[in-house]
Copies of this chain bind each other. A is one copy, B any other.
Amino acid sequence: MSRRRVALLRERMRHLELDAFIVSSLPCIRYLTGFSGTSGLCVVRKRDAFFLTDSRYALQSKTEVKGYKRIIVSNGLYEELARHKLLRGCGAVGFDSNTVTYTQYRTLRKLVHEGSFVPTNDIVESIALIKENEEVDLIRAAVRISDLVFDDVIRSLKPGVTELDIAAEICYLHKKYGAEKDAFEPIVASGERGSLPHARATGKRIRNGELVTLDFGCTVRGYNSDITRTVAVGKATAQARKIYNVVLNAQSDAINAAKAGMWAKDLDAVARGRITREGYGKYFNHSLGHGLGIQVHERPRVSSLSKEKLTARSVITIEPGVYIPGMGGVRIEDDVLLTAGGCEVLNTAPKEFMIV
């Protein structure tokens, strides 16, 4: 149990006049309890806290979860929450309306006959937004592994190998360097496929003269990295070099501008403005970035539609891209730690235009 984190949650509960809070998302449960399994539920009350999981995790949770009353269930987690009367005597009970399903909500309403259920958003997420030193260290560790993997994997990038070959190597190396898992399925997009921002690796062979975009990340003790680089194989056209420079300059501009206190949408506008001025605005069709930590995509949203300010000790990605249908794409992504006066770029993988 992280006493500090639970104390911060209770502070928010007091502010919202909640007697209890149901923590339902697995990353938030891990953040509060240390539990790393795939099935669990947490109930934090004013003076005590409960953790529920099923029998597969009886032993594991005993080791990982301290400071909670542990309950090993044989039925559904929400049914057991009700059966054990964990909300007895509670008035207002908060829950996370972005992860609790309609069925789970109805189960609570049906089986718990006292108290009222209060939908909330981002309560634990807003605590996890501001990273502790130990959390930043774990993100650094994950970023370092992904940087090492990039250095290794570009040696394998040559005509004839498939996108899946490269993805296989990325996944292999993440674990060999000690990551617990990939943060997400690696994106390996070569040639025309580079114009699909979220192209999964396929059996397509990489050809001489293609751009290849690699987007991957790993998880270290629950904390994630997320890096993108685009490199040319064998040779590069003038158009490829041109687009690369546009994206790199947009990314530099955003890194130079990023600091706590500014609106996230203004940071998005810095990169988007540069790309638009260079004539490629309509080809940058996604957000500039996103928060990173216990989830690969977390707060803050860093897009033109964001309504948040950036905060010190948050980690965000800065990842502009240009995608030209039929030609290909370029994206460059770093993870940065926001500070009062600016930001620290966590990645060290090279960003100059590279022909491998």
Binding site for B on A (CB under 8 A): 36-38, 54-60, 74-75, 95, 97-103, 105-106, 119, 121, 164-165, 167-169, 171-176, 178, 180-182, 185, 195-203, 285-286, 305, 325
Known: A55-B285, A99-B101. A198 touches B37 (CB 8 A): yes
> Is the CB–CB distance between B164 and A178 below 8 Å?
yes
Nearest chain B CB to A302's CB is how many angstroms away? 15
In the complex, A13 Cα to B29 Cα: how many Å?
A: 37
Q: Which residue of B lies closest to A286 (CB)?
A: B56
Taking a contact as CB atoms closer than 8 A, the residue among B106, B119, B121, B325 that contacts A97 in the complex is B106
Taking a contact as CB atoms closer than 8 A, the residue among B97, B101, B168, B196 that contacts A59 in the complex is B196
Taking a contact as CB atoms closer than 8 A, the residue among B172, B182, B305 that contacts A75 in the complex is B305
Q: Give every chain B residue within 8 A of A185 (Cβ-Cβ).
A: 181
In the complex, A49 Cα to B305 Cα: how many Å?
A: 29
Q: Which residue of B lies closest to A182 (CB)?
A: B171
> Is the CB–CB distance between A119 and B98 below 8 Å?
no
In the complex, A58 Cα to B167 Cα: how many Å?
A: 23
> Is the CB–CB distance between B57 and A198 below 8 Å?
yes
In the complex, A74 Cα to B75 Cα: how many Å?
A: 40
> Is the CB–CB distance between B168 and A164 below 8 Å?
no
Taking a contact as CB atoms closer than 8 A, the residue among B100, B171, B195, B325 that contacts A171 in the complex is B171
> Is the CB–CB distance between B58 and A285 below 8 Å?
yes
Q: Which residue of B lies closest to A199 (CB)?
A: B60
Taking a contact as CB atoms closer than 8 A, the residue among B101, B102, B175, B198 that contacts A56 in the complex is B198
In the complex, A80 Cα to B123 Cα: how many Å?
A: 26
> Is the CB–CB distance between A101 and B103 below 8 Å?
no
Q: Give every chain B residue within 8 A of A180 (Cβ-Cβ).
A: 164, 200-202
Nearest chain B CB to A183's CB is how many angstroms away? 12
What 6 A-B pairs come out closest when comparing CB atoms? Answer: A168-B175, A172-B172, A97-B102, A171-B171, A55-B285, A97-B103
Q: Give every chain B residue within 8 A of A55 (Cβ-Cβ).
A: 285-286
Q: Give every chain B residue within 8 A of A38 (Cβ-Cβ).
A: 198
In the complex, A177 Cα to B14 Cα: how many Å?
A: 54
Q: Give every chain B residue within 8 A of A174 (Cβ-Cβ).
A: 168
Nearest chain B CB to A76's CB is how many angstroms away? 10
In the complex, A40 Cα to B82 Cα: how many Å?
A: 33
In the complex, A344 Cα to B228 Cα: how many Å?
A: 44
Nearest chain B CB to A52's CB is how many angstroms away? 16
Q: Give every chain B residue within 8 A of A171 (Cβ-Cβ).
A: 168, 171-172, 175, 182
